[in-house]
Structure 1
């Protein structure tokens, strides 16, 4: 079976699709990955054929946009950018189909695949990695930058979310997307969040205990476990320096603000001060050295990248932005999490961790050394948090989202 995988986004969007690709190759299928050019090396290490969707410069320009890291403005910028990628993604898929067909698997932001489904009647498989994408009148996700009280009726919070469609999401993505659809003689998309769930196969890569299915979710949605994907990142093992640091003292606090963040200096400055205030060791994970304070003391180390699956079992707690991939790794490691959300799904993931009893959240404005230290002290010294972390670690280990997703993809291919 031939499989074309379209992955649009940062590491959190691309790595689960790489994991799916690797498993499909292991099963004997021919897989090609199309993703932004910065993931060329990652695909090569994973043994996947690769086609670049955009250039390194275009990718860096988008991630360097200041307003990308604001709750509402960031969504507008991101959606306009992914809509612009719909045409090159569609052209690539169409050319692949013309030379032999196959199943097309796409991440949420791979809008070109959904266009290909509408135009070419392809067996598209849509993969959502976060429950934030699943709108519901019964359990609506928490919107970025809009902390509506949980006491408000769910239907009212859902109605507010529909307002986000009308005034933020659709005006950002649909003009460019529909302009391209017009060239293909396709009707316009009226509402993005409805349209992207119309793929014939919809896979939700988050377990039921993390996000219980709702009565108004699409009936064809298949919910599986979290993807175990970070071993396909920039390194498969801990560096010698990091391994030596872990051996040299107590379990550290791990701080990361995501692979895409380019403006994390205030976060890492506060991270250093929290470690000093609590008398804890710390690991600062940041791809760009310019985000990290200079002249770190011996009890704090900066590492550009580390596979969280290998690192977090040795950590005391995880402090991060709230990306779903990082959340899942913290749950698998069984450690408490403090979320400092930025945009997108981060606020909703933070809420879920709090409700599960394994996390806390502080806004970027309130993330100070004093408040951060107090929040971490409560998490680290709470018997109920410890018990919940252990319980969810066991649940995380009980499922294999990549395996189950690949089973579904093979069924689409008639196997």
Structure 2
């Protein structure tokens, strides 16, 4: 069986697919991954055949869009980029998929894979890496920071989410998608968040204790644990400078605003001042130039990248945007999290962490040195939070979503045959 994987997004979206591909290859499967061009080096490190979708320049232009980091405006920016990759994805699969020999694994936004399933009948597993992507009347996710009062009934929250489909997501995503479908003789898609689920199998790569299953989730959904996914990232180990810094003093605070963020200057300036106010050491993780102040105090170190599985267990807490990959690594490290949400799933992850007693959140307008310092002090001095983090770490040690995810994928072999 040959497995074609398609992943569209940033590090948190693509790295789980690289890990899945590597594990399937270890099991003897032939694998190939299509993803945005900047992830070619990571795929090569994992020994996975790679098809670049777009160019590195295309991805950089997308990530540089100012509106991308505004919750509602960012939807249009994101789907403009996603739409540009829909036809290339379809063409790659149409040229390489062989009936009876292949299955396809697609991320939520690999719309070209769903089109290929509709047109060609290929076996497809849709993978949702974050709970916000799964609709539910019983436990509706928080969409893009929509400030709904906590007392609103869940069904009303769900109804408002359906309104987001009609007035925000649909207008941004469906015109380009349906134009392409029309060229293939396919009927138009009416509602994206329903159609993007493969009718054969949906794989949910987040733990059931983190996002409990709901009775109205798709019947074909299979939920597994988090597939921790940083071993094929930009570096295999801590840099010598970072290792020396960690060895030289008390565990620091870690600050990151995501791999794709190009407008994090204010966040990192606040991080430096927060460390000074708390009298704590800090590590600033920012891959792009211009994000971090040029002059840093000796107790603060800037690194472009570090594998979180090695770094976070040596930190006191992590302050970040709320991406699911960072959330999962912090859960595995057993440390508190302070979320400063930006867009996409960040607001939903922040709410889940608060409910589980594993962290808290500050609106980016409220992320000031005084407020951040006060909230970090509270997180690090509250026994219940520290106990909840330790319990989450134990849960993460007892479960690994990778084997179950691969088993689910391989179960489609009979369909492929």
**TM-score, with structure 2 as normaliser:** 0.98
In 1, Cα distance between equivalents of 2:195 and 2:376: 41
Aligned to 1:310: 310
1:167-217 deviations in Å (ceiling 9; x for gaps): 110110100000000000000000000001134110000011000011110
In 2, Cα distance between equivalents of 1:198 and 1:46: 27
Shift of residue 43 of structure 1?
0.8
In 1, Cα distance between equivalents of 2:189 and 2:81: 17
Shift of residue 100 of structure 1?
7.9
In 2, Cα distance between equivalents of 1:358 and 1:99: 46
Q: Is the 8 A contact 1:114 1:199 kept in 2?
A: no
In 2, Cα distance between equivalents of 1:263 and 1:285: 13
Match runs of 1:7-46 below 5 Å: 7-46=7-46
Shift of residue 145 of structure 1?
2.8
Aligned to 1:232: 232
Shift of residue 289 of structure 1?
2.9
Aligned to 2:211: 211
Match runs of 1:15-414 below 5 Å: 15-98=15-98, 101-414=101-414
**TM-score, with structure 1 as normaliser:** 0.99
In 2, Cα distance between equivalents of 1:242 and 1:147: 39
1:228-274 deviations in Å (ceiling 9; x for gaps): 11111001111111000000000100000000000000000000000
**Any idea what SS the aligned residue of 2:365 has?**
coil
In 2, Cα distance between equivalents of 1:170 and 1:100: 34
In 2, Cα distance between equivalents of 1:194 and 1:135: 8
Shift of residue 97 of structure 1?
1.4
In 2, Cα distance between equivalents of 1:97 and 1:23: 20
1:55-110 deviations in Å (ceiling 9; x for gaps): 01101000000000000011221023212211110000000115984111111110
In 2, Cα distance between equivalents of 1:266 and 1:25: 42
In 2, Cα distance between equivalents of 1:398 and 1:108: 27
Q: Is the 8 A contact 1:83 1:174 kept in 2?
A: no
In 2, Cα distance between equivalents of 1:308 and 1:149: 34
Q: Is the 8 A contact 2:170 2:192 kept in 1?
A: yes
Between 310-319 and 141-150, report the one with greater CA deviation.
Answer: 141-150
Between 192-201 and 4-13, report the one with greater CA deviation.
Answer: 192-201
In 1, Cα distance between equivalents of 2:100 and 2:136: 39
Between 393-402 and 258-267, report the one with greater CA deviation.
Answer: 393-402
Q: Is the 8 A contact 1:255 1:282 kept in 2?
A: yes
In 1, Cα distance between equivalents of 2:232 and 2:383: 34
In 2, Cα distance between equivalents of 1:106 and 1:99: 17
In 2, Cα distance between equivalents of 1:153 and 1:98: 48
In 1, Cα distance between equivalents of 2:236 and 2:280: 26
In 2, Cα distance between equivalents of 1:39 and 1:24: 18
Moved over 6 A (4+): none
In 2, Cα distance between equivalents of 1:217 and 1:176: 27
Shift of residue 372 of structure 1?
0.2
1:31-76 deviations in Å (ceiling 9; x for gaps): 1111111111111111001111110110100000000000001122
In 2, Cα distance between equivalents of 1:199 and 1:9: 22
Q: Runs of 5+ in structure 1 lacking a partner?
A: none
Q: Runs of 5+ in structure 2 lacking a partner?
A: none
